[in-house]
Amino acid sequence: MERAIDAPGSDTGTQGPAGPPGPRATFDRALDRVKDDVLRLGARVEQALERAGRALVQRDPDLADKVRWEDAEVNELQRQINTEITALIATQGPVARDVRELLALYHAAAELERMGDYAVNIAKLAQQLASEPETPILKQIPRMEQICREQLRDAMRALVDISESDARGVAQRDDEIDHLYNSVYEDAIQLMTVAPERARQATHMLFAAHHLERLGDRVTNIGEDVVFLATGQVEDLNP
Partner 1 sequence: MKTRDPKPAEPERDVREGPTIRVMATQTLDESEQIEPAAAGEHGSLDFAADEVVFDLQSLSCFYGSFRAVRDISLRVPKNQVTAIIGPSGCGKSTLLRSFNRMNDLVDSARIEGRILYHGVDLYADGVDPVEVRRRIGMVFQKPNPFPKSIYDNVAFGPRVAGYKGNMDELVERSLKRAAIWDEVHDKLREPGTALSGGQQQRLCIARAIAVEPDVILMDEPCSALDPIATLKIEELMRELKQNYTIVIVTHNMQQAARASDFTAFLTMGEDRAGYLVEMAPTQDLFTRPAHRLTEDYITGRFG
Length in residues, the chain = 239
Q: Which stretch binds partner 1 (CB under 8 A): 20-28, 38-46, 123-131, 178-186?
A: 20-28
CB 123 within 8 A of CB 55: yes
Minimum distance from residue 97 beta carbon to partner 1 (Å) = 6
Q: Is residue 162 close enough to count as binding partner 1 by CB under 8 A?
A: no
Q: Is residue 23 close enough to count as binding partner 1 by CB under 8 A?
A: yes
By beta-carbon proximity to partner 1, the closer residue of 13 and 93 is: 93
Q: Is residue 30 close enough to count as binding partner 1 by CB under 8 A?
A: no
Longest CA–CA span in the chain (Å) reads 73
Minimum distance from residue 101 beta carbon to partner 1 (Å) = 10
Q: Which stretch binds partner 1 (CB under 8 A): 7-15, 21-29, 200-208, 218-226?
A: 21-29
10, 11, 15, 27: which one contacts partner 1 (CB under 8 A)?
27
Q: Is residue 5 close enough to count as binding partner 1 by CB under 8 A?
A: no
By beta-carbon proximity to partner 1, the closer residue of 99 and 130 is: 99
Q: Tell me the three state secondary structure of residue 195.
A: coil
By beta-carbon proximity to partner 1, the closer residue of 33 and 100 is: 100
3, 97, 139, 179: which one contacts partner 1 (CB under 8 A)?
97
Round to whole Å and give the CA distance between 14 and 36.
Answer: 11
Minimum distance from residue 160 beta carbon to partner 1 (Å) = 19
Q: Is residue 22 close enough to count as binding partner 1 by CB under 8 A?
A: yes
Nearest one of 119, 123, 124, 121 to 219, comparing CA atoms: 119
CB 209 within 8 A of CB 184: yes
Of residues 99-118, those binding partner 1 (CB under 8 A)? 99-100
CB 208 within 8 A of CB 180: no
Q: Which stretch binds partner 1 (CB under 8 A): 48-56, 76-84, 120-128, 230-238?
A: 230-238
Question: What angle do helix axes 164-172 and 174-194 make, rounded to 10 degrees?
Answer: 20
Element (H, E) at 9: none
51, 52, 53, 94: which one contacts partner 1 (CB under 8 A)?
94
Q: How far apart are the first and last CA of the chain?
A: 39
By beta-carbon proximity to partner 1, the closer residue of 16 and 23 is: 23
- Which phi and psi angles does 20 have, rounded to 5°? -65, 140
> What does the CA dihedral 160, 161, 162, 166 come to, rounded to 10 degrees?
-110
Q: Is residue 32 close enough to count as binding partner 1 by CB under 8 A?
A: no
Minimum distance from residue 233 beta carbon to partner 1 (Å) = 8
Compute the half-sphere exposure of residue 124: CA atoms within 13 Å on the CB side of its CA: 11
